[in-house]
């Protein structure tokens, strides 16, 4: 043992040294040695090796005692687990570090201080287990980290606490679950110069979407202060998505930004750290600037590419970062392989869905795309977890690694605090347990002992329902699906579901509606934003001001929100075609937006009134339409998502079609420039009758069977009085569809359909294939069954 190295500098270790310095330190050494030259800032430091840990245990004579304590271990007996863990930790903490080890640590610490120009340098002391950060097991949060450690004595104390943390209850339980012997896992310690993110910001990022496994996005969580709050889930952080393929081409590809509540931040305290309240102005502002977001994403790509090359396979990464508030620089604090989606096979599609709904008790950010149900067990303190039973739903404020023994047996997990990269989220993904984080008040709204259902199957937002509900799971092997001549596209209107939908077999998006985005994400009438300073209604002005916090230019709020939502859809299906239909609200729908009643007329029949194309070139609305054009231009030109095509709805006359194309060009969306194609919805009988002339203006048609049926049969599709007559399969409607397909084919123009009929009626899909349609765009749930039906027709 005397000849072993107890200390290795970061520039002396790499990823092949996991057995010596653990996963965390080997990765830090690899990056410090190889990636700092590529412009990535990694704080310097040194590793106390696993041999030092073995030396300490043997010199102290406690190895045999630990074996005795663990000899009759049962990790499912929580009281016994807690008792044995505590006994081993106290054994380690009450033992003295050998003099030789103390001397080596002291020498390395002073060398680090000298290199940094500080006498008692503040350092982070991080545990690094030799079975940690492996491609098939993350060991996330299993051991401890200690921040703002200064001087020799504090460092010695922190080292003993790190060694003891190898035997926390959750670490013991996790090793048993993963099949690791307790003495085959040893502990190294990383001592690293602190990044003063207590005065800046920090967080976590993944080079893969942590929810869906979508591999082309970097997902970043960020909050003010030291990063432990983000990792532990103590704050609801800001969220950012950046699109890798176009970022690498030099585009500013920030797909979306979501403000987190960030009520507290962790700062330096006496002999460690403490949490303080964050002033409201910081809660309401983003903790990262766009340039910083892009820099972090670029670094994430470099790290992912480097490790993928090193491991010889695609290796998505889980990365911790910090922004130093003193020097203003960004730093990478650690990086490990992501272990959930990198191991998952996406060729089997699994879809959970509720058969019925109940009363919603709580809402939050969903993790896991599954549904879980059971008796709610509200636990406010980790000391009470021994009461938890397998199959119950864990409801708590937030989890830490100490909760892991019960998390693995829960049917679902619900927390008040945390974001989608916090401990609860990471561990629940690894265990395959649905989890709802950041609900704010779940522990107050959910009664202990009541039956609940946790639904995480609908995208970013998830729900807790007030009873145990029936649900179903459908599984499909995608390798078994046939290849078609007809293009099968998708109707996508909810950006949060786009990444998940992208795994369903498809040829792109035939209809991306912006109405949901305006209704749910923007919520304000565009003219109320443009005329904000002139608003006389104080109530409306207050609501608009509240929604657009941080935006002096209220029009920019509309452009940012719309562009980010469209970009999520476009990125999910990139480089496939994504056809975005311009807004098609009716006047009664527009008036429901904040401020809408100030600008919208009252029409007797809005369905055939001021909608679609008629608005865009109108003096009363053209300024609002300009915002829509700016948003789409931003997606195509700034973010590099030129796969976005534009579709104009409800064009009544040829002259109107020309006027809209001119208006778009005026606002930067010029047909043909940067490959921009402009399609038209074919949904008014005049579109079929004058199809030749309309196709001289537009690049193709997408048939809107809903409105075409309404206007062909002369009925209001919203009226239940004539609903029995409404049928897209009516002979007159089918004749118009058949005719317009022939005309488009003759002119060599694209023609598809995006109405509901092929999603609803399998025989209608067959009719379209027989007519020779180019593409059929369907709701996501109808894609698989339609592929099988179209295959029969094509045969």
Q: Which residues are catalytic?
A: 423, 754
**Structural element, H or E, at residue 115:** helix 99-116
User: Can you tell me the distance from the alpha carbon of 723 to that of 715, in angstroms, rounded to the nearest whole number?
Assistant: 8
Token digits for 623? 């300024």
CB 18 within 8 A of CB 128: no
CB 365 within 8 A of CB 460: yes
Token digits for 603? 């029409």
CB 434 within 8 A of CB 413: yes
Coarse DSSP helix, strand, coil percentages of the chain, rounded to the nearest 5 percent: 45, 20, 35
CB 412 within 8 A of CB 451: no
User: Can you tell me the distance from the alpha carbon of 99 to that of 102, in angstroms, rounded to the nearest whole number?
Assistant: 5
Q: What is the DSSP string of 12-66?
A: G--GGGHHHHHHHHHHHHHHHHHTGGGT-----EEEE-HHHHHHHHHHHT-HHHH
Distances in whole angstroms, Cα of residue 476 to Cα of each of 346, 416, 479: 10, 34, 9
Token digits for 204? 């976590």
CB count within 10 Å of CB 549 equals: 11
* Residue whose C-alpha is closest to residue 691's, from 627, 740, 647, 732: 740
The three-state DSSP-derived secondary structure of 454-523 is: EECCCCCEEEEECCCCCEEEEEEEHHHCCCCCCEEEEEECCHHHHHHHCCCCCCCEEEEECHHHHHHHHC
CB 254 within 8 A of CB 649: no
- In sequence order, what are the beta bridge partners of 124? 192
Position of tokens 């350092």? 123
């Amino acid at each position: 043992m005397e000849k072993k190295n107890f200390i290795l500098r970061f520039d002396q270790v790499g990823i092949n040294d996991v057995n010596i310095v653990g996963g965390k330190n080997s990765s830090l050494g690899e990056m410090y040695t190889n990636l700092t030259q590529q412009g990535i800032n990694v704080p310097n430091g040194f590793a106390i090796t696993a041999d030092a840990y073995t030396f300490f245990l043997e010199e102290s004579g406690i190895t045999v005692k630990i074996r005795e304590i663990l000899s009759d271990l049962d990790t499912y007996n929580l009281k016994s687990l807690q008792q044995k863990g505590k006994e081993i930790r106290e054994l380690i903490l009450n033992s003295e570090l050998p003099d030789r080890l103390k001397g080596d640590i002291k020498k390395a610490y002073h060398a680090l201080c000298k290199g940094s120009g500080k006498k008692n340098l503040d350092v982070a002391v991080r545990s690094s287990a030799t079975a940690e950060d492996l491609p098939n097991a993350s060991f996330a949060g299993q051991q401890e980290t200690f921040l703002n450690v200064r001087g020799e004595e504090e460092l010695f104390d922190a080292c003993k606490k790190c060694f003891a943390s190898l035997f926390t209850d959750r670490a013991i339980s996790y090793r048993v679950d993963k099949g690791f012997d307790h003495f085959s896992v040893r502990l190294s310690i990383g001592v690293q110069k602190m990044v003063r993110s207590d005065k800046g910001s920090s967080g976590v990022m993944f080079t893969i979407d942590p929810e869906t496994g979508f591999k082309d996005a970097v997902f970043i969580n960020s909050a003010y202060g030291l990063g432990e709050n983000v990792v532990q889930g103590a704050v609801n952080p800001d969220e950012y998505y950046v699109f890798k393929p176009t970022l690498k081409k030099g585009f500013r590809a920030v797909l979306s930004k979501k403000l987190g509540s960030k009520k507290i931040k962790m700062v330096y305290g006496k002999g460690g750290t403490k949490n303080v309240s964050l002033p409201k102005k910081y809660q309401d502002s983003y903790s990262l600037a766009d340039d910083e977001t892009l820099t972090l994403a670029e670094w994430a790509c470099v790290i992912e590419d480097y490790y993928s090359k090193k491991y010889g396979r695609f290796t998505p990464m889980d990365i911790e970062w910090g922004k130093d508030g003193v020097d203003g620089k960004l730093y990478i604090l650690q990086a490990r392989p992501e272990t959930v989606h990198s191991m998952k096979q996406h060729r089997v599609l699994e879809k959970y869905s509720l058969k019925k709904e109940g009363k919603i008790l709580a809402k939050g950010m969903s993790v896991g795309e599954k549904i879980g149900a059971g008796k709610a067990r509200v636990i406010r303190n980790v000391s009470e977890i021994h009461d938890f039973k397998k199959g119950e739903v864990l409801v708590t404020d937030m989890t830490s690694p100490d909760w892991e023994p019960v998390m693995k047996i829960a049917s679902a997990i619900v927390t008040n605090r945390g974001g989608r990269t916090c401990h609860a989220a990471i561990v629940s993904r690894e265990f395959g347990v649905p989890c709802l984080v950041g609900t704010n008040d779940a522990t107050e709204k959910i009664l202990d002992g009541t039956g609940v259902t946790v639904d995480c199957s609908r995208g970013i937002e998830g729900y807790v329902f007030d009873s145990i509900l029936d649900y179903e799971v459908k599984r499909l092997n995608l390798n078994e699906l046939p290849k078609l001549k007809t293009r099968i596209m998708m109707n996508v209107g909810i950006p949060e579901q786009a990444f998940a939908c992208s795994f369903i077999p498809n040829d792109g998006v035939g209809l991306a509606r912006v109405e949901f985005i305006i209704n749910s994400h923007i919520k304000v009438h565009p003219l109320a934003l443009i005329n904000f300073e002139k608003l006389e209604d104080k109530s409306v002005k207050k609501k608009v001001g509240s929604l657009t916090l941080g935006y002096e230019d209220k029009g920019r709020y509309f452009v940012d929100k719309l562009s980010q939502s469209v970009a999520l859809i476009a990125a999910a299906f990139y480089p496939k075609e994504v056809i975005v239909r311009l807004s098609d609200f009716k006047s009664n729908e527009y008036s429901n937006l904040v401020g809408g009643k100030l600008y919208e007329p009252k029409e007797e029949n809005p369905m055939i009134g001021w909608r679609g194309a008629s608005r865009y070139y109108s003096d009363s609305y053209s300024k609002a339409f300009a915002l829509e054009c700016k948003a789409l231009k931003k997606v195509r030109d700034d973010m590099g998502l030129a796969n976005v095509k534009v579709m104009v709805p409800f064009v009544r006359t040829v002259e109107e079609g020309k006027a809209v194309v001119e208006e778009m060009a005026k606002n930067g969306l010029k047909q043909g420039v940067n490959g921009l194609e402009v399609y038209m919805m074919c949904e008014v009988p005049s579109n079929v009758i004058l199809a030749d002339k309309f196709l001289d203006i537009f690049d193709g048609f997408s048939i809107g069977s809903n409105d075409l049926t309404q206007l062909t049969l002369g009925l209001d599709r919203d009226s239940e009085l004539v609903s029995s007559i409404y049928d897209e399969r009516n002979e007159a409607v089918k004749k118009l569809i058949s005719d317009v397909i022939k005309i488009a084919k003759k002119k060599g123009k694209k023609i598809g359909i995006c109405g509901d009929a092929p999603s609803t009626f399998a025989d209608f899909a067959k009719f379209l294939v027989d007519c020779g349609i180019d593409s059929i765009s369907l709701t996501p749930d109808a894609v698989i069954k339609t592929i099988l039906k179209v295959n029969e027709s094509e045969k």
